[in-house]
Amino acid sequence: MNTNKISITAFSSISPLGNNAEDVWKKYLNDQHCFSQQFLDQQKTSVASLETESKQIIAEVRELDPKYKFLDDSVLFALAASRKAVEQAGWKSGDAFGINIGSSRGATDLFEKHYKEYIDTGKAQTLASPTTTLGNISSWIAHDLQSTGPEISHSITCSTALHAILNGVAWLKSGMADKFLVGGSEAPLTDFTIAQMRALKIYSRLDQTKDSWPNLAFDFEKTQNTMILGEAAGVCCLEAGETANAIAYITGVGYATEILEHNISISAEADCFQKSMKMALKETNLKEVDVIVMHAPGTIKGDLTELRAIEKVFGENLPLLTTNKWKIGHTFGASGILSLELALLMIQHDKFINVPFAKAQNQTKTIKKVLINAVGFGGNAVSILIEKA
């Protein structure tokens, strides 16, 4: 079997864009963001939350099994997306496939509720530990899908989902597995989480009733940080080699870690991104890369340093550049997999998605190869190159 390529045989997500690929694509074709304003921490704050239909799906999953009633949204988001992806790929209950679905913060809302109850009463609920442990997501997905393969959980901040892809690729190329379900899930829309982002001075202060674009991800001349949080989960099914039902191939992976000067620092030209992109592109002619889906969280330094890294690596062969965080916010550990979703959709429909408030970039050729970037606190960068099947 030729394992130089890894097949992506299915993809599914649940996000502020909806829960099926057709709806997601339709929303990418318009210039409206998905932010709403909610009262969090006694302030009116922009967030990107699931739309009503998706919330109903999660409510139905929660009621399906008494054991699911006490699970965090981060688990249920991943469970809903995983069921759909596995069905699309033709995998069956009991099949031997691996699972690696990570999260930056894990059971955020549930942990905060259990901790508050403990502070108020001095007692912890019986299920406080098993429902908030880091391995909570992958193990529940394995239970629900009755997989007989390995299941892995991890948290590598905002590059978590792309690290899951790295792990899946490694298992498949080693021959230790033939199929892997990978992705990320995040449900971080809590007062405390947003307060932490405000403390870092990176959360958007723009008022969407006055400003058309409260998240200015991809505006490289902005004078204030404009990151906004979103909630979502996304997963894809990976299979070794070239398969008949592949929707795209993974043809390059790269990773690197920044040498830190500060807890959240990244160098002026994002050395970690330069290294991860070069690793993913080592056997690729730079002129063949059609699009880069940037991490671009909407912060001044985060956006600009990634752009500088791309310019360093590609020079005069700069591909089309885009991001989705102006539209759906930053979903932490799930963000990379949602960037992959945008990449897959652009390849499938052969249409480049511009950022509406940026200078328009003109597509002049068929989209065949797309590079996806993600990085998290600590400078953990990952780059994934995918190719049209």
**What is the per-residue pLDDT across 62-82, written as a single tens digit (0 to 9) for each?**
998 999 999 999 999 999 999
Q: Which of 112, 146, 150 is nearest to 131 (CA)?
A: 112
pLDDT number for residue 262: 54
SS3 state of residue 338:
helix
Q: Which residue reads 């992506």 in tokens?
A: 8
Q: What amino acid is encoded at 102 in this protein?
A: G
Q: Show me where the domains of the chain are located.
A: 6-240, 252-388
Q: What is the CATH number of domain 252-388?
A: 3.40.47.10
Q: With a cut of 70, say whether residue 261 has pLDDT above it.
A: no
Residues 6+ away with beta carbon under 8 Å from 99: 82, 138, 141, 142, 145, 147, 149, 150, 151, 152, 180, 181, 182
Angle, helix 73-89 to helix 136-145, in steps of 10 degrees: 40
Q: With a cut of 80, say whether residue 266 has pLDDT above it.
A: no
Give the domain 6-240 fold.
Answer: Peroxisomal Thiolase; Chain A, domain 1 (3.40.47)
Question: Is 252-388 the same fold as 6-240?
Answer: yes
Give the model confidence (pLDDT) of 279-302 as tens digits: 999 989 999 999 999 999 999 999
Residues 6+ away with beta carbon under 8 Å from 64: none
Phi, psi of 109 (to 5 degrees): -65, -45
CB neighbours of residue 139 within 10 Å: 17
Residues 6+ away with beta carbon under 8 Å from 322: 218, 291, 292, 293, 294, 342, 352, 353, 354, 355, 361
Q: Which of 81, 5, 83 is nearest to 246 (CA)?
A: 5
Range 232-258 average pLDDT:
96
pTM exceeding the 0.85 threshold for the entire prediction: yes
Q: With a cut of 70, say whether residue 268 has pLDDT above it.
A: no
